[in-house]
Amino acid sequence: MFLNHDAAFADITPIAAARISATLTAHTMLETDAGWRTVDALKAGDAVATLDGGFAEITAITKPDHGAPLVHIPGGVLSTCSDVSLPADAHIALHAPAGWSDAPVVSAPVKALSGWRGVRPSLFHGPDLAELHFADEEMIYAQSGLLIHAAPSTGDTFFPRLDYGNARAMLAASAGKFGQPDTVAA
Protein backbone atom coordinates (compact mmCIF):
# COMPACT_ATOMS: atom_id res chain seq x y z
CA MET A 1 0.00 0.00 0.00
CA PHE A 2 2.86 2.38 0.75
CA LEU A 3 5.17 1.22 -2.04
CA ASN A 4 6.41 3.70 -4.60
CA HIS A 5 5.06 2.72 -8.04
CA ASP A 6 5.99 5.92 -9.89
CA ALA A 7 8.44 4.15 -12.23
CA ALA A 8 6.70 0.79 -12.53
CA PHE A 9 5.95 1.29 -16.24
CA ALA A 10 8.87 3.52 -17.21
CA ASP A 11 10.55 0.98 -19.52
CA ILE A 12 7.58 0.08 -21.70
CA THR A 13 8.36 0.15 -25.40
CA PRO A 14 5.36 0.51 -27.70
CA ILE A 15 4.89 -2.30 -30.19
CA ALA A 16 5.11 -1.19 -33.78
CA ALA A 17 1.94 -1.86 -35.74
CA ALA A 18 2.30 -4.40 -38.54
CA ARG A 19 2.76 -2.76 -41.92
CA ILE A 20 0.12 -3.89 -44.36
CA SER A 21 1.37 -3.29 -47.86
CA ALA A 22 1.83 -4.54 -51.41
CA THR A 23 4.81 -3.67 -53.60
CA LEU A 24 4.03 -3.14 -57.29
CA THR A 25 5.70 -1.78 -60.40
CA ALA A 26 4.78 1.77 -61.36
CA HIS A 27 2.99 0.71 -64.57
CA THR A 28 0.67 -1.84 -62.94
CA MET A 29 -2.97 -0.86 -63.54
CA LEU A 30 -5.27 -0.81 -60.50
CA GLU A 31 -9.02 -0.30 -60.45
CA THR A 32 -9.83 2.86 -58.52
CA ASP A 33 -13.10 4.61 -57.78
CA ALA A 34 -12.14 6.95 -60.66
CA GLY A 35 -11.38 4.16 -63.18
CA TRP A 36 -8.24 2.21 -64.06
CA ARG A 37 -5.01 4.03 -63.18
CA THR A 38 -1.33 3.14 -63.04
CA VAL A 39 0.36 2.88 -59.66
CA ASP A 40 2.56 5.91 -60.42
CA ALA A 41 -0.60 8.03 -60.87
CA LEU A 42 -1.98 7.13 -57.43
CA LYS A 43 -1.57 9.08 -54.21
CA ALA A 44 -2.37 8.50 -50.55
CA GLY A 45 -6.12 8.81 -50.03
CA ASP A 46 -7.06 7.18 -53.35
CA ALA A 47 -9.17 4.02 -53.07
CA VAL A 48 -8.63 0.77 -55.00
CA ALA A 49 -11.05 -2.10 -55.69
CA THR A 50 -10.83 -5.17 -53.46
CA LEU A 51 -12.02 -8.78 -53.52
CA ASP A 52 -14.84 -8.09 -51.06
CA GLY A 53 -16.51 -5.76 -53.56
CA GLY A 54 -15.55 -2.52 -51.89
CA PHE A 55 -12.76 0.00 -52.17
CA ALA A 56 -9.84 0.29 -49.76
CA GLU A 57 -8.11 3.60 -49.13
CA ILE A 58 -4.35 3.79 -49.69
CA THR A 59 -2.95 5.20 -46.44
CA ALA A 60 0.57 5.88 -47.78
CA ILE A 61 2.79 5.24 -50.79
CA THR A 62 6.50 4.72 -50.25
CA LYS A 63 9.44 3.77 -52.43
CA PRO A 64 11.18 0.56 -51.34
CA ASP A 65 14.80 1.09 -50.33
CA HIS A 66 16.03 -1.53 -52.82
CA GLY A 67 15.01 -3.01 -56.18
CA ALA A 68 13.62 -6.50 -56.50
CA PRO A 69 13.75 -9.19 -59.18
CA LEU A 70 10.59 -9.23 -61.27
CA VAL A 71 8.34 -12.02 -62.54
CA HIS A 72 6.57 -11.51 -65.89
CA ILE A 73 2.92 -12.62 -66.15
CA PRO A 74 1.62 -12.72 -69.75
CA GLY A 75 -1.71 -11.15 -70.63
CA GLY A 76 -4.61 -13.59 -70.32
CA VAL A 77 -3.00 -15.57 -67.49
CA LEU A 78 -4.66 -15.20 -64.07
CA SER A 79 -7.39 -13.05 -65.67
CA THR A 80 -5.00 -10.26 -66.64
CA CYS A 81 -5.94 -7.99 -69.55
CA SER A 82 -2.31 -7.40 -70.53
CA ASP A 83 1.24 -8.34 -69.55
CA VAL A 84 2.32 -7.32 -66.06
CA SER A 85 5.53 -7.64 -64.06
CA LEU A 86 5.46 -8.03 -60.29
CA PRO A 87 8.19 -8.28 -57.68
CA ALA A 88 9.13 -11.95 -57.17
CA ASP A 89 8.20 -11.83 -53.48
CA ALA A 90 4.71 -10.40 -54.14
CA HIS A 91 1.78 -12.63 -53.19
CA ILE A 92 -1.25 -13.14 -55.44
CA ALA A 93 -4.58 -14.90 -55.00
CA LEU A 94 -5.11 -18.34 -56.49
CA HIS A 95 -8.21 -20.52 -56.39
CA ALA A 96 -7.26 -23.70 -54.58
CA PRO A 97 -8.34 -27.19 -55.68
CA ALA A 98 -11.29 -28.67 -53.79
CA GLY A 99 -10.35 -29.68 -50.26
CA TRP A 100 -7.10 -27.70 -50.26
CA SER A 101 -8.35 -24.78 -48.16
CA ASP A 102 -11.53 -23.47 -46.55
CA ALA A 103 -10.76 -19.92 -47.72
CA PRO A 104 -12.15 -18.70 -51.07
CA VAL A 105 -8.59 -18.13 -52.33
CA VAL A 106 -5.06 -18.70 -51.07
CA SER A 107 -2.12 -16.32 -51.24
CA ALA A 108 0.89 -17.64 -53.16
CA PRO A 109 4.25 -16.04 -53.97
CA VAL A 110 4.33 -15.03 -57.62
CA LYS A 111 7.83 -16.53 -58.02
CA ALA A 112 6.32 -19.99 -57.39
CA LEU A 113 4.35 -19.66 -60.64
CA SER A 114 7.51 -19.53 -62.80
CA GLY A 115 7.13 -22.02 -65.66
CA TRP A 116 3.33 -22.19 -65.32
CA ARG A 117 1.32 -20.87 -68.32
CA GLY A 118 4.15 -18.65 -69.54
CA VAL A 119 4.92 -16.99 -66.21
CA ARG A 120 8.68 -16.43 -66.09
CA PRO A 121 11.32 -14.52 -64.17
CA SER A 122 12.44 -11.29 -65.78
CA LEU A 123 16.06 -10.35 -66.31
CA PHE A 124 15.41 -6.90 -64.89
CA HIS A 125 15.14 -5.65 -61.34
CA GLY A 126 12.24 -3.34 -60.61
CA PRO A 127 13.68 0.18 -60.63
CA ASP A 128 10.26 1.81 -60.44
CA LEU A 129 8.59 0.07 -57.52
CA ALA A 130 6.00 1.57 -55.20
CA GLU A 131 4.79 0.16 -51.90
CA LEU A 132 1.09 0.79 -51.27
CA HIS A 133 0.05 0.79 -47.60
CA PHE A 134 -3.43 -0.04 -46.29
CA ALA A 135 -5.15 0.03 -42.89
CA ASP A 136 -6.33 -3.59 -43.24
CA GLU A 137 -5.37 -6.74 -45.13
CA GLU A 138 -6.72 -6.57 -48.69
CA MET A 139 -6.83 -8.44 -52.00
CA ILE A 140 -6.63 -5.66 -54.59
CA TYR A 141 -7.56 -5.88 -58.28
CA ALA A 142 -4.83 -5.25 -60.87
CA GLN A 143 -4.75 -5.60 -64.68
CA SER A 144 -8.52 -6.42 -64.76
CA GLY A 145 -8.72 -9.67 -62.79
CA LEU A 146 -5.41 -10.34 -61.02
CA LEU A 147 -5.72 -10.19 -57.23
CA ILE A 148 -2.65 -8.97 -55.33
CA HIS A 149 -2.42 -9.67 -51.61
CA ALA A 150 -1.67 -6.65 -49.42
CA ALA A 151 -0.88 -8.25 -46.07
CA PRO A 152 1.37 -7.86 -43.05
CA SER A 153 4.86 -9.22 -43.67
CA THR A 154 4.65 -11.37 -40.53
CA GLY A 155 1.92 -12.99 -38.51
CA ASP A 156 -1.40 -14.54 -39.41
CA THR A 157 -3.50 -13.44 -42.35
CA PHE A 158 -7.13 -14.08 -43.30
CA PHE A 159 -6.13 -15.76 -46.56
CA PRO A 160 -3.85 -18.78 -46.09
CA ARG A 161 -0.36 -17.77 -47.20
CA LEU A 162 1.47 -20.55 -49.00
CA ASP A 163 5.23 -20.81 -49.11
CA TYR A 164 7.07 -21.59 -52.35
CA GLY A 165 6.94 -25.40 -51.95
CA ASN A 166 3.26 -25.56 -51.04
CA ALA A 167 2.35 -23.20 -53.88
CA ARG A 168 4.20 -25.45 -56.37
CA ALA A 169 2.46 -28.52 -54.90
CA MET A 170 -0.93 -26.83 -55.25
CA LEU A 171 -0.22 -25.97 -58.90
CA ALA A 172 0.76 -29.60 -59.53
CA ALA A 173 -2.41 -30.81 -57.80
CA SER A 174 -4.60 -28.49 -59.86
CA ALA A 175 -2.92 -29.75 -63.05
CA GLY A 176 -3.60 -33.38 -62.08
CA LYS A 177 0.09 -34.19 -61.61
CA PHE A 178 -0.01 -34.68 -57.87
CA GLY A 179 -0.26 -38.12 -56.33
CA GLN A 180 0.31 -40.10 -59.52
CA PRO A 181 2.52 -43.17 -59.27
CA ASP A 182 6.13 -42.77 -60.34
CA THR A 183 6.29 -44.87 -63.51
CA VAL A 184 10.06 -44.48 -63.85
CA ALA A 185 10.71 -46.01 -60.43
CA ALA A 186 8.25 -48.88 -60.96
Q: Is pLDDT above 80 for 5?
A: no
pLDDT digits (tens, 9 = 90+) for 62-118: 998 777 899 999 999 999 999 999 999 999 999 887 777 788 899 999 999 999 999
What confidence tier does 3 reach under pLDDT thresholds 50, 70, 90?
A: low
Read off the pLDDT of each residue in 158-174 and give the average, rounded to a whole number: 89
Structural domain boundaries in the chain: 20-174
For 20-174, the fitting CATH number among 2.170.16.10, 3.90.1640.30, 1.10.287.3510, 3.50.50.60 is: 2.170.16.10
Cα–Cα distances (Å) from 123 to 28, 52, 71, 126, in that order, read 18, 35, 9, 10
pLDDT digits (tens, 9 = 90+) for 115-160: 999 999 987 776 689 999 999 999 999 999 999 999 987 778 889 9
Dist CA 181 CA 11 (whole Å): 60
